[in-house]
């Protein structure tokens, strides 16, 4: 289970405290998926970074599978993220000098593999996202949609419980966006993850049975 309780995030500014999140609560169980929409500056990405243990809340608590990552030391927190959370961002952030296969394997370089054949898993994931024939290609040789599919495979290499996506189709044309959206939802169901997507795209959000709206630092579940 992912549970966020009364999350507040504020930042100091020359004019005083800037409160970006004002008491956000959210609970999701394994196998559930949801989309969050809202205007720029409403706090969507800030919430995602807190849920992903990338940025601590000013107050409130976040737990994933009963563990609060912000109670861990720096190295333990990094290991927690690597093991339990997958990230897909608007910018695929692939390493240009590495092959597609090497990019997918990159997160495993700092984790224990538990005896698994990670090379085989990376190849399997790339086949599942339709890139089984592009293993040795560099990112520059891929289309935008293919780069994002590689980024999805990379996010899933560690069998994460939680998959967080920040505008995963924001840089894609409509056809590529539809392909990536279908892929995300299909893999989510197959792998039984918790999937949370932040997006400005109404067509993408409408693919989700559960939707939230973020506005002025507050989160509200939409009636569909």
What pLDDT tens digit does each residue of the chain (224 aa) get? 999 999 999 998 888 888 999 999 999 999 999 999 998 888 899 999 999 999 999 999 999 999 999 999 999 999 999 889 999 988 888 999 999 999 999 988 876 554 468 889 999 999 999 999 999 999 999 999 899 999 999 999 988 999 999 999 888 888 989 998 999 999 999 999 999 999 999 999 999 999 999 998 999 999 87
pLDDT at res. 39: 87
Which CATH number does 2-221 carry?
3.40.50.300
- Which helix (DSSP H) or strand (DSSP E) does residue 190 occupy? helix 174-191
pLDDT at res. 138: 95
How far apart (Å, rounded) are the C-alpha atoms in residues 90 and 176? 13
Q: What is the pTM of this model?
A: 0.90
How far apart (Å, rounded) are the C-alpha atoms in residues 185 and 4? 23
pLDDT at res. 116: 61
Domain ranges for the chain, please list them: 2-221
Contact assessment for residue 183 and residue 129, using Cβ atoms and an 8 Å cutoff: yes
DSSP, collapsed to helix, strand or coil, labels residue 164 as strand
Strand partners, 215: 218
């Amino acid at each position: 289970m992912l549970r966020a309780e009364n999350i507040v995030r504020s930042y100091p500014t020359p004019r005083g405290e800037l409160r970006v999140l004002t008491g956000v609560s959210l609970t999701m169980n394994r196998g559930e998926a949801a989309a969050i929409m809202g205007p720029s500056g409403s706090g969507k990405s800030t919430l995602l970074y807190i849920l992903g243990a990338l940025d601590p809340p000013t107050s409130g608590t976040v737990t994933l599978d009963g563990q609060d990552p912000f109670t861990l030391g720096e190295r333990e927190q990094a290991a927690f993220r690597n093991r339990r959370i997958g990230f897909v961002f608007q910018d695929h952030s692939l390493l240009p000098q590495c092959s597609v296969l090497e990019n997918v394997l990159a997160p495993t370089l700092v984790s224990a593999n538990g005896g698994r054949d990670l090379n085989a898993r990376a190849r399997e994931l790339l086949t599942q996202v339709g890139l089984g024939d592009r293993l040795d290609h560099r990112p520059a040789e891929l289309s935008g949609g293919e780069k994002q599919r590689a980024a999805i495979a990379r996010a899933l290499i560690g069998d994460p419980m939680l998959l967080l996506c920040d505008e995963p189709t924001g840089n894609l044309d409509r056809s590529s966006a539809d392909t990536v959206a279908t892929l995300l939802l299909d893999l989510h169901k197959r792998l039984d993850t918790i999937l949370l997507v932040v997006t400005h795209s109404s067509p993408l959000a409408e693919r989700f049975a559960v939707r939230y709206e973020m506005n002025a630092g507050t989160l509200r579940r939409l009636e569909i």
